[in-house]
Structure 1
């Protein structure tokens, strides 16, 4: 699933993607979604990219608290290779604010380069076994 997440992140590279959640932590369940955080001040830019890539999405909004601020986050969901992909779109100025999980700890997240390194490490571990 990490390879699929990497592929999706590369398609949305201009929006500074971060992978978060169970796929990053290495504990995805049977019906696990891939969650990617994107950053843009212009929703229309992302919508144009989605249209150009012919991706049919469903959307919803949710209020998310980061630090002392609350942001209205758009969530675009679509299916890719039988896996649900959730794109959480934050304003650009929220990128440096680290979201926290339900335990109030900083949420782990990875950029494209970090995810690629993690995948390469997995490949090395598999070939060494």
Structure 2
């Protein structure tokens, strides 16, 4: 039993490293897809051997720090600047940055993820229509604890970068939100925090 457990642990580590490499080199931003591709490459048949997202994330950070440190730092700075510009334009809707751009793990094809909390979901659509911004919408679910919340998701391009707006009821703004019932709470940052991140990055360049 111990030997099997050790094999599974070793395979988890190998899959996490392979998935991180796929995400970094192939521009894959979907953890589940990267896991499946990595598992197939390594011939892993046991689902117990699949790593958690945070394990892949740790490997992804390490990989990029080793092979693409300067290039990736520039990409993250660029994406955060675009995010901040969008957040300032959408200020009336209480925007928060979340996802890979905030975490610093985004790849070259990543979407910028913003959470919005307008008085009405239609307010955001009207705002975009008034400015002639093309967009598409679909419905999704987000969770706080074991409670599901219906969310309108708006996708568009902002400064040629894919932007995904998750539009919530304003009453859930102070809740800890998750993408799935069993998932982790989504980290998020307001415009002031994103601006502070960018200032910190600039300061680190001149040291």
Q: Given the two structures, how large is their TM-score scaled by the length of structure 2?
A: 0.58
> 1:1-129 counterparts in 2 under 5 A?
1-100=79-178, 104-128=183-207
8 Å CA contact 1:67–1:97 kept in 2: the answer is no
Aligned-pair distance for 1:104?
3.4
**Larger CA deviation: 64-73 vs 106-115:** 64-73
Q: How many Å separate the matches in 1 of 2:106 and 2:166?
A: 18
Q: Which has the larger radius of gyration?
A: 2
Aligned-pair distance for 1:69?
2.2
Aligned-pair distance for 1:30?
1.8
8 Å CA contact 2:143–2:179 kept in 1: the answer is no
* 1:54-109 per-position Cα deviation (integer Å, ceiling 9, x unaligned): 21101000122222321110000001233110000000011011113667332210
Q: How many Å separate the matches in 2 of 1:29 and 1:44?
A: 31
Q: How many Å separate the matches in 2 of 1:80 and 1:47?
A: 15
Q: How many Å separate the matches in 2 of 1:40 and 1:4?
A: 21
RMSD: 1.5
What count of residue pairs does the alignment treat as equivalent?
Answer: 128
Where does the alignment leave 5 or more consecutive residues of structure 2 unmatched? 1-78
Where does the alignment leave 5 or more consecutive residues of structure 1 unmatched? none
Aligned-pair distance for 1:127?
1.8
Q: How many Å separate the matches in 1 of 2:84 and 2:127?
A: 17
Q: How many Å separate the matches in 2 of 1:82 and 1:45?
A: 23
Q: Given the two structures, how large is their TM-score scaled by the length of structure 1?
A: 0.92
Question: Is the helix fraction higher in 1 or 2?
Answer: 2
